[in-house]
Chains A and B, each alone.
Chain A
Amino acid sequence: MSVTEVESTTKIILRGRKVVGGCAEGEALVTRDTISGWGGINEREGTVIERRHELRGVSFKDKVLVFPGAKGSSGWSAYFHMTRLNNVAPRAMIFNKMTTKVALGAVVTHAPAMTELDQDPLKVIETGDWVKVDADNGVVEVTKKKR
């Protein structure tokens, strides 16, 4: 079997809507828990800090963050904004539920972001997969991690 054939069996293409333009790729960090900005992340370290969150203590710096959406305080955008200024922001974002918090947060993080994918990204993408987010063209390319 050639290399391209191996790749063709392990790559998954998802299509969706651009939230913030650009193209970036990185390792996926997936959570089924919604994320709080203010009071939910440490903006200096780029980690989740919420007490009962499944990613508590985990860093999203340079990751493709895949999550259901935003919750909690209106400080969501300001805190993700600060992660960018502190160089600990996610490399891209993929989420399901559109809210003003997550929309503005994605905009000010300046990282490519997408939503409304044709399959549920929380089911298709797993932590550790390599994900390319081409928001300009509305395409997400998932390379499954060898397991």
Chain B
Amino acid sequence: MRLTDAERAMLDGREGAAKQKAMDLLMRYGEALGAERLVETQNVAGAFNASTPSVRALVAKGYDAVYSELNLDSREVVPIPKMAVNTCQLITGIDNENWRTQGIADELADQQKKAEGHFGALGINMFATCTPYQVGNVPVRGEHCAWMESSAVVYCNSVLGARTNTEGKESTGAAALTGRIPYWGFHIPENRRGTHLVNVDVEVDDIMDWGLLGYWLGEIVQEDIPVLTGKIRQPSLIKLKHFGAAAASSGGVEMYHIPGVTPEANSVDEAFGGRKRQDTLRFGAAERKLAYDTLNCATDRNVDFVMLGCPHNAIEQVWLIASMLEGRKISPNTQLWVHTPRALREVAERNGYVKMIRDAGGMVMSDTCPAISRHVPKGTRVIATDSAKQAHYLPAIVGLPVWFGSVKDCVEAAISGRWNGGLQ
């Protein structure tokens, strides 16, 4: 790879051992990719916490050891300085207030808080959400970023028009210290153009249908770049948040275009930019049903855990759930967790939504989700969720069957303890 003088200085160790290790990793990673150079970034979203049981041994050696191994792939422990660029923490495994509800040991919650205290003081902003774009990190069009979290990456590229690959824990750790990331993939304008035209033949408007479209599409196009046309109503943040997360779970979609909606495509032609089109895909009633049936792997209609808010709910989603629950009580056999970023929870608290949900017997959770924490309420046998992403991952991660449906289906399941959802 070609390096600038400043990058060479870091690699040679003239800027300290941590930046040297960071550059060493970026070189190995860039060469693995076949990248020719690095690009400057001022916006990093990564995973820096140390709260899982498996990192306990590293934590005992100190936070420099944690960062060196897990964020820089360095066996040698190097002193970690302050972050060089704007850096934030994505979702974590533990709700800093409700860890006991999650069933997490006090010791691990304490471990996370101490790690946050250490890394926070180095300049890592503890957003603790999978949706940094909801709480103050909103990159502008063309901005080079180094983000983890597949649902945030696809949002960043497609909806915001900023540029990031799906980075990992080690590459974001190195980017935060150097302000560099390999210039490869979605950083290069030609690679951002569409590959497949998708004709949407059934109307896609409500949030569940955006999830079904994304889940079906991801499995087919994998990492390719779909261009959506047809019966699509004007989407909003919450719909595209769900759509992208679904497409990045069944496949690896990191970018899509909706001509007239997303910023890099005013027209279908502009979305493709002259790139050779692959097969045109069609999303009709049969494809919609296939996605729905694939996501619903449960058979027992008795539901004992309802999970809402993956990716983390926007404030209007919390309000919708609170409104549906007003004056009602959830089943004594069912637990309901509603997930939203901590910064938005503050607003939900202020508005009384947290109390409305609590009065009905539910909980508002932040900082985490069941898939990341690998924790569901003790004794759970059947889960219901409005998230295609959680429905995809939870059977593998916690080994339990899942019902997938609309927010309303899920709230009704929480109240009755029975799944009565279905495809309309």
Contacts and interface: CB of A to CB of B under 8 A. Distances in A.
A binds B: yes
B348 to A, nearest CB: 27
Given A39-B396, A40-B396, A43-B54, A103 B33 contact: yes
Contact of A98 (B33, B47, B69): B33
B248 interface: yes
Interface in A82-109: 82, 85-86, 97-101, 103-108
B148 to A, nearest CB: 4
Interface stretch (B94-102, B163-171, B198-206, B282-290): B163-171
A73 interface: yes
B297 interface: yes
A70 B252 contact: yes
Interface in B161-185: 165-171, 182, 184-185
Q: Which 10 A-B pairs have the closest CB atoms?
A: A77-B168, A74-B148, A78-B169, A103-B32, A100-B165, A39-B393, A71-B252, A104-B168, A51-B395, A19-B32
Do most interface residues of chain A lie in helix, strand or loop, or is the interface mixed?
Answer: mixed
A1 to B, nearest CB: 42
B264 to A, nearest CB: 20
| Interface size bracket, B side | 35 or more
Nearest to B184: A100
B349 to A, nearest CB: 30
A97 B224 CA distance: 11
A108 B252 contact: no
A76 B254 CA distance: 15
Contacts of A49: 396-397
B28 interface: yes
Interface string A104-131: 1111100001000000000000000000
A132 to B, nearest CB: 20
B97 to A, nearest CB: 24
A81 interface: yes
B25 interface: yes
Given A74-B148, A104-B167, A82 B54 contact: yes
Do most interface residues of chain B lie in helix, strand or loop, or is the interface mixed?
Answer: helix
Nearest to B171: A104
A71 B222 contact: yes
Nearest to B395: A51
Nearest to A48: B396
Nearest to A53: B396
B371 interface: yes
A39 B397 contact: yes
A99 B73 contact: no
A19 B184 CA distance: 15
B28 A74 contact: no
A44 B148 CA distance: 22
A108 B73 contact: yes
A109 B29 CA distance: 12
A81 B70 contact: yes
Given A69-B223, A74-B168, A100-B171, 16 more contacts: A20-B32, A39-B397, A50-B396, A70-B252, A71-B223, A71-B251, A71-B252, A74-B150, A76-B168, A98-B33, A99-B223, A100-B168, A103-B32, A104-B29, A107-B170, A108-B170
